Amino acid sequence: MVIDTLKCVGCSDCVVACQTENNVPIGYCRDWITETVDGSYPNLDLELKSERCNHCDNAPCVRCCPTGASHIVDGGIVMVTADECIGCGACIESCPYDARYQHPDGYVDKCTFCHHRLEKGQLPACVSVCPTKCMYFGDLDNPNSEVSQLLKNRKHKTLAPEAGTNPHVFYLI
């Protein structure tokens, strides 16, 4: 996933779309908006962006999971099987992005990149509703895909790369 921080206005449409699409319990969210202010007055720089599970290549949550409920499916998406999750909280402790939460039903829940929509050839809910079209979703392994082209041509960053997780959500800056 590629998110253009220069186009994001922080409207939270992605958050609401995700909560609706995935039946996220009230008070919880799988994605959220952050506002970062850099510099000192009057030279300020505001960055808005939508954050979620980074579906890391080297996912600490998958490594720490004692039952294998957290796993990486084909295509690199990190998923949780609710029936295998015991709710021990190890994955929540292991996530540098605090992207996971304990569902009120007990198991651990998080962003799935709307895997159920991808299977039908649709885009994740957050991407499909973004009014400024600042979010892009596609195959990073395909050098001709829109996301690969964007990363080739634009300056970008990932979150907390020093955590060694190799995130799969990229931010254009």
Partner 1 sequence: MQEELFTSGRNIPHIDPSLQIWHWPISTYLFLGGLAAGILFFAALFYVLGKEKEYPTAVKLATVISPIALSLGLIALLYDLTHKFYAWQLYMTFRIESPMSWGAWVLLIVTPLSFLWVFSYYSEIFPKWENKLQLLTKFKFLKTFEVFLIKNRKYMAYALIPLTLVLGVYTGILLSAFNARPLWNNAILGPLFLVSGLSTGAAAIILLSKTTAEKHMFGKIDLVLIIVELALIVHMLMGMYAGSQVQLEAMQLLVNGEFTLMFFGFVVILGLIVPAILELIELIGYKVPVIVPALLVLLGGLIFRFVMVEAGQLTRFLY
Could you say whether residue 67 binds partner 1 (CB under 8 A)? Answer: yes
57, 93, 139, 146: which one contacts partner 1 (CB under 8 A)? Answer: 93
H/E run at residue 117:
helix 115-119
Stretch near partner 1 under the rule CB under 8 A, chosen from 67-75, 123-131, 134-142, 147-155: 67-75
- CB of 126 closer than 8 Å to CB of 14: yes
> Per CB under 8 A, does 40 bind partner 1?
yes
Select the residue interacting with partner 1 from 72, 77, 79, 92 (CB under 8 A). 92
What CA–CA distance (Å, rounded) separates 136 from 170?
10
**E strands of the chain, at which residues?**
2-4, 32-38, 45-51, 70-72, 78-80, 101-102, 108-109, 135-136, 156-157, 170-172
Strand 156-157 and strand 108-109: the pairing is unpaired
Among positions 131, 160, 166, 173, the unique one binding partner 1 when judged by CB under 8 A: 160
Q: How far is the CB of 41 from partner 1 (least distance, A)?
A: 9
Contact of 173 with 6, CB cutoff 8 Å: yes
Among residues 6, 20, 34, 139, the one that binds partner 1 under rule CB under 8 A? 34
Contact status: 36 vs partner 1 (CB under 8 A): yes
> Are the CB atoms for 96 and 60 separated by under 8 Å?
yes
Number of amino acids touching partner 1 (CB under 8 A): 48
Tallying the residues shown for the chain, one arrives at 173
Instruction: Note whether 95 binds partner 1 by CB under 8 A.
Output: yes
Among 21, 72, 77, 101, binds partner 1 (CB under 8 A): 101
Q: Residues interacting with partner 1, by CB under 8 A?
A: 10, 12, 15, 27-29, 32-40, 60, 63-69, 82-90, 92-96, 98, 101-102, 105-107, 159-160, 162-164
